[in-house]
Chain A
């Protein structure tokens, strides 16, 4: 399977703990995106990378959130000092560049539950 993969699929953590999620994009895609989705809502954009450079961050991405994409391959999203409001599905997507950047391939997501 050469699609986008995300790990873990589920994460349960206690409030105040740090968590890290991983996304492996489609290998030839130079763009990688993170979205967050809460129950009953559409996904919300968090941030995106072109190769290893993080080029845009949403206001939703507070200082407790950090994302990296070393060497322009996989990406990690870390949440420090988790809060109950961080409970959501975290989706990763990848795409080619240019006008193809809107044809995104999504992973299955990581569901985070903060207790």
Chain B
């Protein structure tokens, strides 16, 4: 799996967009970018993933740069309930992969009123 680098912490005002960056400069062509979050005292929660195209679902948008060396998770209208640790994971999700997720330290996002 490619190494990912995330800022240790970020703040965001409630109602504003939260943009969480992730650097994965050594990502290979068949590695996807996955985002999870973990709210305090809960298990991690899958958010979104992508390969090279931008992706959007009901939770968030994922923007991947053209060279795929970095990505940004966007929470369009952050709420207090979005306060959590956000993990960016780059991994090969094709072929005979078995789903081992390698979590780093993540980014602690704090949403303020």
Contact = CB atoms under 8 A, between A and B. Distances in A.
A48 B98 contact: yes
A45 B44 contact: no
A106 B91 CA distance: 18
B100 interface: yes
B48 to A, nearest CB: 10
A101 B46 CA distance: 11
A102 B41 CA distance: 22
Given A93-B43, A102-B34, A41 B105 contact: yes
A45 B101 contact: yes
B54 to A, nearest CB: 18
Contact of B45 (A48, A56, A106): A106
Contacts of A102: 32, 34, 49, 89, 91, 93, 97, 99, 101
Given A41-B105, A42-B104, A42-B106, A101 B99 contact: yes
A108 interface: yes
Interface in A51-108: 55-56, 91, 93, 95, 99, 101-108
Contact of B93 (A48, A50, A99, A105): A99
Contact of B100 (A48, A103, A105, A107): A48
Contacts of A103: 46, 49
A16 interface: no
Interface of B: 32, 34, 41-46, 49, 85, 87, 89, 91, 93-94, 97-106
Given A91-B43, A108-B43, 19 more contacts: A4-B43, A31-B98, A33-B99, A42-B85, A42-B105, A48-B100, A55-B98, A56-B98, A91-B44, A93-B44, A99-B97, A101-B98, A102-B89, A102-B101, A104-B46, A104-B99, A107-B43, A108-B42, A109-B43
